[in-house]
Chains A and B, each alone.
Chain A
Amino acid sequence: MEYYVIQSLNALVFAVILLLSGLGLSVVMSLMNFVNLTHGSLYLLGSYIAVFWMATGQPWYLAFPAAFLGGAAAGLILDRFPFQLFYARTHLMQVLLTYGLSVVFADLMRWGFGAHIATPQIPELLRGVVFILDTPFPIYRLFVLASGVVLAAGLWFLFDRTIWGAVVRACVVDTRIVEALGINTKHVFTAVLALSCGLGALSGALGSGILAAFPGLDEEILILAFIVVVVGGLGTFSGVAVSALVLGFTMTFAKMLSPEFSNLMSLAVMAGILIWRPDGLIAATRREV
């Protein structure tokens, strides 16, 4: 019994790791229709910021806002040049641009941070365990779980329940009408991109305690993020949360059944979902006016 409770908890934590890797990507893809392959690089940048921040002895909890701000700042710069020139262009052009940039960023980070594997010095407070049904469970994982839930809820609130969110969603549907209302849509897109990059880096900071930071992690995360976003459904935000949950449980229980074939089983489930629902679990409802 407790074995399955713990495994379910493991699955939940992994679902949050998936959710965190997909969040930033999903925001730009669903709200701006922009394919950002530098997402993995921003995640890795956030991981490195956390590693270095925690090594300096500054208060550990500030590492997360620092990572968010670092990512958001990078997003602001990238938005100015060259992303803005590509928002209106085809996905293929966006892929070409952002893939190229991700390769450049990977080399820059290897040059700046080194090629070795780095792990953050997690504070004592988070390093301990709590006993759940007499089984030790790492506190840090619960912390990541809670952070992920809070972040997702916050984003949902921001985009679905505030006037600012309504403006962003309106921009996606018809930019010109929004501009006619006297809103500078360029600034809106800049803000969304910065937010998405900040989220990517924040996720990296949170994930570094479990996944470490090293050259190559950027690609690993990008693939996970794409799987989550595509299975969840392009253009929907709640889909990402549902798909992270489904995939988190699938991957965890596949590993329990047969670790050797866990990748095969997980990918089969994903393929099944996409055959069943080609637009993802929760497809966006498009209203034609």
Chain B
Amino acid sequence: MPLSDFTRRRFLAASAATAGLTVGGLPFAAPALGQGKGELRIGLLTSLSGPFASLGESMRAGLQLYLAQAKDGIAGRPVRLTVEDDQAKPEEGVRKVRKLIEQDKVDIVCGVIHSGVALAIRDVVAASNTLTFIAGGSANNLARKAASRYVFRPTKTNWMLGSTAGTWAAEKISRKNVITIAADYAAGREYVDDFVASFKAAGGQIGRQLWTPLGTTDFAPLLTDIAAAKPDFVYTFFAGSDAVRFLQQYQDYRLAGRIPLVGTGAAFDQEDVLPAVGAGIKGAINTFHQSPSVPVAANKLFVDAYRQARGRLPGEFSTSGYVAGQVIAAAAEKVQGDLTDKDKVRDAVLGLDLETPYGPMTFDPKNNQAVLNIYVNEVRVGADGKLVNEVVHTFNGVRDPGATA
């Protein structure tokens, strides 16, 4: 077992003893190289228990990997990382982000997986003018009405994935007879609505739309419906265990290979979902901002390093933690590590032109939202017999429409 795994286990053992504890800063860097600004305090708010526990661990591992690589700290300042668990509950997220800001006096808040948590803490961080980097939660509204001056989002919005899937599927697969099936909560509704909008705009026709409650145990009745309807393809969004069950049962009922499956990348996440799903799902198409095969040097380096650290390919959330670290470091370096003038930091972030494991990243000054390439991934069987997301098409520089949408 690699060393990082050991620390992960040790942390979990500790968290079993005391619920919601802080990982008291492990100074990742050598003592400061001067400048006398002391350590840079970063607070990571993520989900380490509850339904997103596995995603939260990946996000933390990604950020820790970046900090471990940045041996000299960020902009010459050693980094003190404080990790808090929001349990994927908005009210817990608010409590923990207050603790990070008021008690730990962090310079920067980052992380957040659950969109509901992201929206809930938005008012807290906006009121205290805290520099915040939402690395996971992708609700459209954070790039629109809920956008805020010092809240940056170095990841995709749901619209960026849903609308590109609609365009691509209408052009390459079929314009008629499509069934959508998705988890019935905010994210599922956004993905599917944005898919439907762009699919219709491209001349597509939508058939039945199925919504299932979060945590659905058995998809059999719906799969039997889909088999009877014989659609040209199915568009889907599920996350985590719902995704694993849906894809597994899609194969059990022999729909895989007969009815093409198109979806949101999260439903085929490289780290969270694909390892638990059988090879029958190969050929499925998904739109995502992440893939282990994104052809940029930054991604290759990251994928290799992550594999070494955790023995598996990175998915969305491990990449999001790493990219958050990268964006924070790049912005801090532009202002020589001095984060006191927040408008200067903001200008620095908005002026970034980074090569990240997601691909090139710039920020849209109207809503602080990252402009990213969106990839069309096809699930293929890799050389080692394991499933892997391969990029088959790239939508360059996709920009969320922002508040006007």
A217 to B240, CA, bound (A): 12
* B220 interface hit (Cβ, 8 Å): yes
Please determine whether B9 and A111 come into contact, CB atoms closer than 8 angstroms.
Answer: yes
Total cross-chain contacts (CB, 8 A): 112
A99 CB, nearest partner CB in chain B, Å: 14
* A256 interface hit (Cβ, 8 Å): yes
A11 CB, nearest partner CB in chain B, Å: 8
A6 CB, nearest partner CB in chain B, Å: 5
Please determine whether A138 and B54 come into contact, CB atoms closer than 8 angstroms.
Answer: no
B184, B218, B240, B278 interface centre (most CB from chain A within 10 Å): B218
Interface residues of B in 1-52 (CB under 8 A from A): 9, 12-13, 15-16, 50-51
Interface residues of B in 213-248 (CB under 8 A from A): 213, 215, 217-218, 220-222, 224-225, 227-228, 240-241, 244-245, 248
A70-78, A102-110, A280-288 - the one binding chain B: A102-110
A30 to B215, CA, bound (A): 29
* A184 interface hit (Cβ, 8 Å): no
List the A residue with the shortest CB-CB distance to B275: A116
Residues of B within 8 A of A14 (CB): 217-218, 220
Interface residues of B in 266-280 (CB under 8 A from A): 272-273, 275-278
Please determine whether A17 and B217 come into contact, CB atoms closer than 8 angstroms.
Answer: yes
Please determine whether A117 and B211 come into contact, CB atoms closer than 8 angstroms.
Answer: no
A152 to B15, CA, bound (A): 40
* B394 interface hit (Cβ, 8 Å): no
* A278 interface hit (Cβ, 8 Å): no
List the A residue with the shortest CB-CB distance to B228: A3
A259 to B222, CA, bound (A): 8
A220 to B214, CA, bound (A): 11
A137 to B61, CA, bound (A): 41
Residues of A within 8 A of B186 (CB): none
Residues of A within 8 A of B224 (CB): 3, 6-7, 10, 135
A2 CB, nearest partner CB in chain B, Å: 9
Please determine whether A116 and B272 come into contact, CB atoms closer than 8 angstroms.
Answer: yes
B194-202, B249-257, B322-330, B342-350 - the one binding chain A: B249-257
List the B residue with the shortest CB-CB distance to A18: B217
List the A residue with the shortest CB-CB distance to B211: A260
Please determine whether A107 and B213 come into contact, CB atoms closer than 8 angstroms.
Answer: no
Please determine whether B252 and A138 come into contact, CB atoms closer than 8 angstroms.
Answer: yes
* B64 interface hit (Cβ, 8 Å): no
Interface residues of A in 184-224 (CB under 8 A from B): 210-212, 214-217, 220, 224
* B53 interface hit (Cβ, 8 Å): yes
B13 CB, nearest partner CB in chain A, Å: 6
Residues of A within 8 A of B272 (CB): 116-117
* B177 interface hit (Cβ, 8 Å): no
Please determine whether A135 and B53 come into contact, CB atoms closer than 8 angstroms.
Answer: no
Residues of B within 8 A of A108 (CB): 16
Q: Given A116-B54, A117-B241, are A212 and B248 neighbors across the interface (CB < 8 Å)?
A: yes
A136 to B228, CA, bound (A): 11
Set B16, B215, B244, B278: member contacting A117, Cβ < 8 A:
B244
Residues of B within 8 A of A141 (CB): 220, 252
Please determine whether B15 and A107 come into contact, CB atoms closer than 8 angstroms.
Answer: yes
Interface secondary structure of A, over-half rule: helix
* A53 interface hit (Cβ, 8 Å): no
B74 CB, nearest partner CB in chain A, Å: 28
Residues of B within 8 A of A118 (CB): 276
Please determine whether A135 and B241 come into contact, CB atoms closer than 8 angstroms.
Answer: no
Provide the A11-42 mask, 1 if CB < 8 A to any CB of B, else 0. 10110010000000000000000000000000
Please determine whether A210 and B249 come into contact, CB atoms closer than 8 angstroms.
Answer: yes
Please determine whether B277 and A263 come into contact, CB atoms closer than 8 angstroms.
Answer: no
A119 to B276, CA, bound (A): 5
* B210 interface hit (Cβ, 8 Å): yes
* A96 interface hit (Cβ, 8 Å): no
* A158 interface hit (Cβ, 8 Å): no
Please determine whether B218 and A262 come into contact, CB atoms closer than 8 angstroms.
Answer: no
Q: Given A111-B12, A111-B13, A215-B53, are A117 and B240 neighbors across the interface (CB < 8 Å)?
A: yes
List the B residue with the shortest CB-CB distance to A251: B218
* A94 interface hit (Cβ, 8 Å): no
A7, A214, A251, A256 interface centre (most CB from chain B within 10 Å): A214
* B212 interface hit (Cβ, 8 Å): yes
* B364 interface hit (Cβ, 8 Å): no
Please determine whether A115 and B13 come into contact, CB atoms closer than 8 angstroms.
Answer: no
Please determine whether A115 and B211 come into contact, CB atoms closer than 8 angstroms.
Answer: no
Residues of A within 8 A of B248 (CB): 119, 210, 212
Residues of A within 8 A of B53 (CB): 110, 115, 215-216
Residues of A within 8 A of B221 (CB): 7, 10-11, 252-253, 255-256, 259
Interface residues of B in 325-368 (CB under 8 A from A): none
Please determine whether A117 and B273 come into contact, CB atoms closer than 8 angstroms.
Answer: yes
* A140 interface hit (Cβ, 8 Å): yes
* A268 interface hit (Cβ, 8 Å): no
A212 to B272, CA, bound (A): 13
* B57 interface hit (Cβ, 8 Å): yes
Set B215, B225, B253: member contacting A256, Cβ < 8 A:
B225
A68 to B43, CA, bound (A): 44
A3 to B228, CA, bound (A): 7
Please determine whether B16 and A212 come into contact, CB atoms closer than 8 angstroms.
Answer: no
A-to-B contact residues, CB < 8 Å: 3, 6-7, 10-11, 13-14, 17, 104, 107-108, 110-111, 114-119, 129, 135-138, 140-141, 210-212, 214-217, 220, 224, 251-253, 255-256, 259-260, 262-263
- A selection of 22 A-B contacts at a CB cut-off of 8 Å is A3-B224, A6-B224, A7-B221, A13-B220, A107-B12, A111-B12, A116-B272, A116-B275, A117-B276, A119-B244, A119-B277, A135-B227, A210-B218, A210-B249, A210-B252, A211-B217, A214-B54, A214-B240, A215-B54, A220-B217, A256-B225, A260-B212
B-to-A contact residues, CB < 8 Å: 9, 12-13, 15-16, 50-51, 53-54, 57, 184, 210-213, 215, 217-218, 220-222, 224-225, 227-228, 240-241, 244-245, 248-249, 252-254, 272-273, 275-278
What are the nearest 9 A-B pairs in CB distance?
A107-B16, A115-B54, A138-B252, A10-B220, A136-B254, A255-B221, A115-B53, A260-B211, A117-B276
**Known A10-B224, A119-B278; 12 more pairs at CB < 8 Å:** A13-B218, A108-B16, A110-B53, A119-B248, A119-B276, A129-B252, A212-B244, A215-B53, A216-B51, A256-B225, A259-B212, A262-B212
